């Protein structure tokens, strides 16, 4: 960036959690555009005071809670999608005039398409009745969906239903949030329940989730919300809000810059913004699976156990693979699955005890994310394994010889080492460390 960079921003309250600056600045960099994007936390009653400043110095800006509707009186032009939805999230500044648009619908539709979920002609239940619900409602109606609104605020839900009737000529039924009935193709959470920092919340019950095939959460921080975690456990297709955010952000840039971007550019940004993997290494019995599951839940990330993936796909226990094909065959198999698993991002990965023995595995892990060694004392590991007869390597070798062979390799190949005995405490220490890195501490 230089002094001639064109300026853009997002306005909200609060706005500290927003990923928009990271998304937009990354896309400027990717496309070689001389732009810079800021986040402005604006008090709700001060919107009018910042408008002259934006008109004079900025080329465009986005709006989030609580300004998507409040901005409308300040606009010189509003496009049809924004007019119908009564919500504006993108403003272009042209010759001192403000042009308002809504890219929320495009982001929502694009997020479904990216996950291979057909959005046309589906039965949809919207959870919530605010601005996000309004954008989702009108996008669903544009795609000939039948829509039901479940919300705590009956008046707001009734107003949405009335607008749907006025603009689309369609009836939209409403119900209290605790009285969801029937079965739906898609559930869309349009509330902030479960959003950072109050990440424990879930807006609906397990029984409600069972009534749907696909669950979409517009919340993007954390990326794997409690709602999505529960829906996944119940066997539902789940979609997080991050892709919607990225795609609506890129649609904003298309408006500001008068360009159309390729799907490959969009994919690059989505991949760039995915959190790196956290790969746990350590001796067998060191608690990698236990720590990994706790850590994944805290971080809102997926958990993958490499050994379990091998057993599931090969339909054999690892001890049987060793017995039938030998250790070298298993190590080749381990590398194959490790490459596949590390090809994705946003995961906490528990590796097998011998994964670090091959340099190719270490290289794959380090390219994929941060390698963390769980340095559990040898005597504690011995205690845990004393009655465990499922470890092929320990059937042919003494514990001490295997431990002595590997301990230096674990330490040498790790990006960070955490020592201790208690899995819950180790998970908490790692979580705090990762959050401090994110904050730059």
pLDDT by residue (tens digit) across 254-278? 999 999 888 888 888 777 777 789 9
- Per-residue pLDDT reduced to its tens digit, 309-359: 999 999 999 889 988 998 899 999 999 999 999 988 889 999 999 999 999
Query: What's the rounded Cα separation, in Å, for the pair 348 and 289?
Result: 10
Domain ranges in the chain? 6-102+245-271, 111-240, 275-438
Can you give the pLDDT at residue 441?
Answer: 39
3-state secondary structure labels for all residues of 157-210: HHHHHHHHHHHHCCCCEEEECCCCCCCEEEEEECCCCCCCCCCCCCCCCHHHHH
Annotate 342-360 with DSSP letters as a single string.
HTS-SEEEEPPTTGGGSHH
Q: Looking at the predicted structure, is the pLDDT value of residue 365 above 60?
A: yes
Query: What's the rounded Cα separation, in Å, for the pair 46 and 28?
Result: 29
Backbone angles phi, psi at 88, to 5 degrees: -125, 130
Query: Rounded to two decimals, what is the model's pTM?
Result: 0.69
Q: Looking at the predicted structure, is the pLDDT value of residue 306 above 70?
A: yes
Query: What's the rounded Cα separation, in Å, for the pair 330 and 332?
Result: 5
CB 44 within 8 A of CB 60: no
CB 280 within 8 A of CB 414: no
- Equal CATH topology for 111-240 and 275-438: yes
The one-character DSSP state at 45 is: G
Can you give the pLDDT at residue 189?
Answer: 97
Q: Select from 3.40.50.920, 3.30.1540.10, 3.30.429.10, 3.40.50.10860 the CATH code of 6-102+245-271.
A: 3.40.50.10860
- Per-residue pLDDT reduced to its tens digit, 87-135: 899 999 999 999 999 998 889 999 999 899 999 999 999 999 988 898 8
CB 70 within 8 A of CB 88: no
Residue 366: active-site member: no
According to CATH, the topology of domain 275-438 is: Rossmann fold (3.40.50)
H helix or E strand, kind and range, residue 375: strand 369-375
- From the list 68, 122, 266, 288, the catalytic residue is 68
According to CATH, the topology of domain 111-240 is: Rossmann fold (3.40.50)
CA contacts within 13 A on the Cβ side of 335: 13
Confidence class for position 389, pLDDT limits 50, 70, 90: confident
């Amino acid at each position: 960036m230089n002094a001639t960079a064109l300026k853009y921003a997002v306005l909200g309250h609060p706005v500290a959690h927003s990923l928009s600056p990271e998304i937009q600045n990354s896309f400027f960099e990717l496309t070689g555009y001389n732009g810079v994007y800021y986040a402005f936390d604006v008090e709700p009653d001060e919107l009018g005071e910042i408008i002259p400043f934006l008109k004079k110095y900025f080329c465009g800006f986005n709006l989030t809670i609580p300004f998507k509707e409040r901005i409308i009186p300040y606009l010189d032009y509003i496009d049809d999608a924004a007019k119908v939805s009564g919500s504006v999230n993108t403003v272009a500044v042209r010759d001192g005039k403000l042009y308002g648009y809504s890219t929320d619908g495009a982001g929502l539709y694009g997020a479904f398409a990216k996950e291979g979920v057909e959005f046309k002609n589906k039965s949809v239940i919207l959870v919530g009745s605010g601005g996000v619900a309004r954008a989702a409602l009108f996008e669903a109606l544009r795609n000939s969906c039948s829509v039901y609104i479940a919300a705590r605020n009956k008046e707001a839900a009734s107003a949405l239903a009335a607008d749907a009737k006025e603009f689309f000529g369609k009836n939209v039924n409403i119900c209290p949030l605790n009285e969801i009935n029937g079965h739906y193709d898609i559930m869309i959470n349009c509330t902030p329940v479960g959003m950072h920092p109050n990440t424990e919340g879930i807006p609906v019950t397990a029984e409600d989730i069972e009534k749907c095939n696909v669950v979409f959460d517009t919340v993007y921080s954390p990326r794997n919300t409690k709602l999505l975690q529960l829906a996944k456990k119940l066997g539902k297709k789940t979609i997080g809000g991050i892709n919607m955010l990225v795609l609506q952000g890129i649609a904003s840039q298309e408006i500001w810059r008068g360009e159309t971007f390729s799907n490959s550019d969009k994919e690059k940004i989505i991949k760039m913004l995915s959190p790196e993997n956290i790969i746990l290494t350590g001796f067998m019995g060191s608690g990698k699976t236990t720590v990994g599951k706790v850590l994944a839940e805290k971080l809102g990330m997926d958990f993958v156990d490499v050994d379990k993936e091998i057993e599931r796909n090969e339909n054999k226990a690892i001890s049987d693979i060793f017995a039938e094909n030998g250790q070298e065959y298993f190590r080749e198999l381990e590398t194959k699955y490790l490459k596949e698993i590390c090809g994705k991002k946003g995961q906490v990965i528990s590796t097998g005890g011998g994964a670090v023995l091959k340099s190719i595995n270490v290289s794959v892990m380090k390219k994929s994310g941060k390698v963390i060694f769980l340095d559990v004392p040898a005597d504690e590991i011995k205690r845990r394994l004393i009655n465990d007869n499922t470890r092929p390597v320990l059937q042919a070798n003494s514990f001490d010889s295997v431990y002595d062979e590997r301990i230096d390799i674990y330490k040498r190949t790790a990006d960070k080492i955490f020592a201790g005995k208690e899995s819950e405490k180790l998970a908490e220490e790692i979580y705090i460390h990762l959050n401090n890195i994110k904050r730059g501490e």
